[in-house]
Structure 1
Amino acid sequence: MALRLPEDARRRPRGERSIVEIASDLFGNLADLLESEIGLLRTEAAEKTSRAAWAGLFILTGALLALAALLFALGALAALLMEAGMSAAGAALLVAALVGIAAAGALYCGLRRLRADGLMPKKTIDELKRDTETLKENI
């Protein structure tokens, strides 16, 4: 949100405004700016929280799939030892490998979404930088 001067301040030359009017406008604009920035921060925080929740879901999915892979691998090992033939155990090992690959993919996706730079409130930071520059220009 860009700073705007009140209508009457734009019509009058700078020399005709009193210090009280200038200070009053400045503090009014700063209060409006702060309120807008807090609103933006709340909105962006809600978006980042939702993103983190989805990332947590992917991590949980990956963990459950990894557990399933372990169970399949253990079952395959038991079948291998019991039968001493490859058919049942080989099939179980193949399933375990596929579930393990799916688990790795889900964990990778979840962890990638939780990187710190992805959770930074970039819009708010950019807006604060622009507002700071605008204040510097007008003071």
Structure 2
Amino acid sequence: MGSPSGATASDAGRTSVYVLVFDGGSQGNPGPAYGSFRFGPKRGKLGNPQRLDLGQGTNNEAEYATLIAGLQAVLAYLRGRKTRPSTVTLEIRGDSQLVIRQVEGAWKARDARMRDFRDEARSLLGAFAAVRYTHQPRSRSVSLLGH
């Protein structure tokens, strides 16, 4: 579940850059929250989108929760293939400027809940050799995630 289709253990070992695309939102703010993500080697095919039902939350909470779930999935995938995350560069792509900028440190997280999410994401990101952040248009996220 959540694995890039067609990727093998030897592929993961040769691939130094992985891509994680994420998007979250809510119907109402707050309201029923949802998210989706997909990941894979940059030079390969991204895995199938994973859909999340996040209960009640705000748009920003859904964005962060989806990023964190995606990071956990990438780490589990790499470890399952005996690839040390410390040898992998992760490229994160999302349409939430707030999440991207807070996680990369360009913006402060003033709200305590956002700080907690940011800190959890940063903790997971610490496992990787390097991280690149790309803020992309929502239309690109929708196209990649199929929603």
Give TM-score scaled by structure 1 length.
0.25
Q: Which has the larger helix fraction?
A: 1
Bigger relative CO (Cα 8 Å, ≥ 6 apart): 1
Q: Which has the larger strand fraction?
A: 2
